Homo-oligomer: A and B are copies of this chain.
Amino acid sequence: MSRFWSERVRELEPYVPGEQPKIDGLIKLNTNESPFPPSPRVRDVLTDGAIDKLRLYPDPNSSALKQTIADYYGLKPEQTFVGNGSDEVLAFAFMAFFQQPRPLLYPDITYSFYPVYCQLFDIDYEMLPLADDLSINLADYRRENGGIIFPNPNAPTGRALPLSDIEALLKENTDSVVLIDEAYVDFGAESAAQLVDRYPNLLVTQTLSKSRSLAGLRLGFALGSAELIEGLERVKNSFNSYPVDRLAEAAAIVAIEDDDYFRQCRDQVIATREWTEARLQELGFQTVPSAANFVFARVPEGEDAAELSRQLRDARIIVRYFNKPRLSEYLRISIGSDTEMQALITALKAILS
């Protein structure tokens, strides 16, 4: 605590990201990274010429990347926004749309950055409880609000809602922004991107961190009506003119264009997830049906999830444990390579036997 801090900053409880250990040789299944390198085309664009041009600022509008994203989703560039990771895009969206007289609505179990943004930007919110099976009940969201946000699939549960449910919500909720956070959508859910042309209050965010193996380059984007995108641009241009650097823009373009590689990696993650779910069930875990690149698994009857995560760590495998009500009997396990998941199952067998 310092007397020089603003009052708001004294009260903040910052977000705690998953550990990024500096030890080599660990099997890292704690932050939902891809087990595959990015598209090989990324190497082709990070040339000596591109490095020499780093002396120049990037295009503040990231026009080339916006065009690529617009083409990919069948939208116009003015329906796209890009930022330094989808966390930055979310932060801008909270400022642009959710500072309202009525409360923002989101699930009680969800991405734990949402309450932090609410604190930082002084946004009133209501958390609506998930059902017993950890699904989101959208009927609960039919009430007065200053905005609605949830991930689809949700995190850390991995459960997805069908697009028809999201469209039904949009048909009724027309006076505030509905933000669908699609960080994990590529691994098994339907994107609401196709609804953007029809619902002016729909904002969809996505990231290149997971399904395009670019967590280390920080690239997120939003899709929405031109008026919502303009709101995001106004905040971005009042905060940082150039959040996306030259190399990140160039790499993101080829990563999106290389759709074959994207599909190949995604299909492999899904196949490995299904294998992992089956093995975990054989060991007595109850898995939540996952549409993401992780599995949320309740530990076998009589086991302690915190203790299990410590024992896995002793075996040099890191998974994510949340010491929170309703989550404390679960582990969130990212889907790594086949070899890594085999090592996980072998380690769990040894620990549980």
Residues of A bordering B, CB below 8 Å: 2, 4-9, 12, 14-17, 20, 22, 28, 31, 33-38, 42-43, 46, 48, 51-60, 84-85, 87-88, 91, 95-100, 116-117, 119-120, 176-177, 200-201, 209, 213-218, 227-228, 230-231, 233-235, 237-243, 245-248, 251
Contacts and interface: CB of A to CB of B under 8 A. Distances in A.
Contact of A2 (B2, B231, B240): B231
A46 to B, nearest CB: 6
A131 B27 CA distance: 62
Q: Enumerate the 9 nearest inter-chain pairs by beta-carbon distance, A residue then B residue, closest first.
A: A14-B237, A216-B246, A2-B227, A6-B99, A37-B52, A54-B216, A55-B213, A17-B241, A218-B245
A20 to B, nearest CB: 6
B46 A51 contact: yes
Given A54-B251, A231-B4, A22 B238 contact: no
Contacts of A120: 95, 235, 238-239
Nearest to A229: B2
Contacts of A4: 97, 176-177, 200-201, 227-228, 231
Interface of A is mostly: loop
Contact of A117 (B7, B14, B227, B238): B238
Interface centre among A6, A214, A237 (most CB of B within 10 A): A6
A242 B14 CA distance: 13
Contacts of A217: 54, 245-247
A216 B48 contact: no
A216 to B, nearest CB: 4
Given A46-B51, A51-B43, A17 B57 contact: yes
Contacts of A177: 4
A8 B123 CA distance: 13
Given A57-B17, A216-B245, A91 B240 contact: yes
Contact of A37 (B51, B60, B95): B51
Nearest to A120: B238
Nearest to A17: B241
A234 B46 CA distance: 33
Nearest to A215: B57
Contact of A20 (B14, B28, B37, B57): B57
Contacts of A116: 238
19 contacts: A2-B231, A6-B96, A6-B98, A6-B231, A9-B97, A14-B233, A14-B237, A15-B241, A36-B55, A37-B53, A38-B52, A38-B55, A54-B215, A57-B216, A58-B216, A85-B243, A119-B238, A218-B245, A245-B248
